[in-house]
Amino acid sequence: MSAHCQLTGAKPGFGNTISHSHRRTSRRFDPNVQRKRYWLPSEGRHVRLTLSAKAIKTVDAIGIKAAVVRIRARGGKV
């Protein structure tokens, strides 16, 4: 599963791990991405979305119908 949120567009960030001796090695900051299944009453079916934890809270606030509209406006497939 790719670490990418369908609603917010959150993607991994990149940086360095700095050790005690101050050596730097590459690392990746992944968003907290979960696969969640929602019932979409307007289409009479379930949709499975890959969402960050923040996006799950957004869906709870605005509703699944509005969230799907936003995903489709970004060019995402639902």
Name the β-bridge partners of 27. Answer: 15
pLDDT score recorded for residue 55: 97
Strand ranges (DSSP E) for the chain? 13-18, 24-29, 33-40, 45-52
Q: What is the pLDDT of residues 19-70, one digit of tens each?
A: 999 999 999 999 999 999 999 999 999 999 999 999 999 999 999 999 999 9
pLDDT at res. 49: 97
Average pLDDT over residues 4-13: 96
| Amino acid 30: pLDDT | 96
> What does the pLDDT read at residue 2?
79
| pLDDT on residue 1 | 54
